[in-house]
Amino acid sequence: MKKFISLALLLLITLVSFAQTNNYNVGDVVDDFTVTDVYGVQHNLYEYADDGKYIYLDFFFDTCGICQQTIPIFNEFFDKYGCNQGDLIMISMNNGTDSDAEVLAFENTFGGPFNHAPAISADGGAGAVKDNFGVNGYPTICMIGPDRTLIASQIWPVEDITTFEATFPGGFEPDILVCSLGITDLTIPSFSIFPSVSNGQNITIVMNNQVAKSIKIYDITGREVYSKNANSSDVKFSLNVSSGAYFVKVYTESNSAIKKIIIK
């Protein structure tokens, strides 16, 4: 049994170590893409590159065990260098099988105690990017330069944040920055849910200085179980669903945000 486990582990490590962007070689110009993260914010590759940024893409899926181990390190890297406000851009790119709700659950569970890099789900166009890059193993973490070329097809093994820092080109020393949390606070809707644990009856959403245009509720598989138009800063609703965890997505005029509730 021990020999079988060891062989299985060796095979897993080997498969992960060869995960890469198979459609591009280092030095190739990569195709442009525009994706939308789980909070409704768009990201365009060429805009970042043309602004002189180095872009890191972390391809993952939510039940990938090794992805669960590396995502907090990727988020620490994002946090240390300014949350995409400095010289570096970090984006978590799903393999195209997980919804916004599933990706948010992945981030909330495994993302670590840092500000989290923007995450793109199947809903935001991640699958097309995965196909274009030819990714078939996970995690695959690649790096693209300001000249739009692929600098690293696979950054591996990821031991800690220095793994990413070792990819900096010679003479390039990006500033360590405090994240611009004020910008995030203005962009992403802020709200509270009372009660967050209940039997599903008489739940209230209270917006913080914003107006909710609508709400949608998803189960942990990403299936929509409830929706309601609102146009109010105080939204009341009830759920007749099975016991378990659910995600409440609140839409404002320009953005959206998600929180978890528990139905007993």
Position 255 confidence tier, pLDDT thresholds 50, 70, 90: confident
Q: Are 48 and 55 in contact (CB under 8 A)?
A: yes
Q: Check residue 31 and give its pLDDT.
A: 98
Give CA–CA dist 76/228, Å, rounded. Answer: 36
197-251 residue pLDDT tens? 999 999 999 998 889 999 999 876 567 899 999 999 999 999 999 998 888 888 8
Give CA–CA dist 245/132, Å, rounded. Answer: 34
Q: Check residue 179 and give its pLDDT.
A: 74
- Whether residues 174 and 199 fall in one domain: no
Q: Check residue 222 and give its pLDDT.
A: 62
Q: Check residue 254 and give its pLDDT.
A: 76
Q: Check residue 189 and give its pLDDT.
A: 73
Q: What is the mean pLDDT of residues 40-59?
A: 95
Using CA atoms, how far residue 22 sits from 64, 131, 136, 137, 142, in Å, is 19, 10, 8, 10, 11
* Whole-number average pLDDT of the chain: 87
Q: Check residue 167 and give its pLDDT.
A: 97
- Whether residues 120 and 250 fall in one domain: no
Q: What is the mean pLDDT of residues 97-105?
A: 94
Q: Check residue 23 and give its pLDDT.
A: 97
Q: Which domain CATH number covers 62?
A: 3.40.30.10
Q: Are 140 and 56 in contact (CB under 8 A)?
A: no
Q: Check residue 106 and give its pLDDT.
A: 94
Dump strand ranges (E) for the chain. Answer: 34-36, 42-44, 54-60, 88-94, 119-120, 140-144, 150-152, 191-194, 197-198, 203-207, 212-219, 224-232, 234-237, 244-251, 256-263
Q: Check residue 220 and give its pLDDT.
A: 64
For residue 1, tell me if it sits in a domain: no
Q: Which of 157, 181, 205 is the last residue of a domain?
A: 181
- Whether residues 161 and 214 fall in one domain: no
Q: Which domain CATH number covers 256?
A: 2.60.40.1930
134-185 residue pLDDT tens? 999 999 999 999 999 999 999 999 989 999 999 999 999 999 887 754 334 4
Q: Check residue 87 and give its pLDDT.
A: 94
Q: Residue 217 is part of which domain span?
A: 189-263
18-33 residue pLDDT tens? 568 999 999 999 999 9
pLDDT of residue 5 exceeding 70, the answer is: no
Q: Check residue 181 and give its pLDDT.
A: 41
Q: Which of 165, 181, 197 is the last residue of a domain?
A: 181
Residue 174 gets which letter from DSSP? P
CA triplet 48, 52, 53: central angle to 5 degrees? 55
Position 186 confidence tier, pLDDT thresholds 50, 70, 90: very low
- Whether residues 114 and 153 fall in one domain: yes
Position 3 confidence tier, pLDDT thresholds 50, 70, 90: very low
Number of domains within the chain: 2
- Whether residues 112 and 208 fall in one domain: no
Q: What is the mean pLDDT of residues 83-90?
A: 93
More confident residue, 16 or 28: 28
Q: What is the mean pLDDT of residues 186-201?
A: 83
For residue 27, tell me if it sits in a domain: yes
Q: Check residue 9 and give its pLDDT.
A: 40
Q: Are 233 and 205 in contact (CB under 8 A)?
A: no
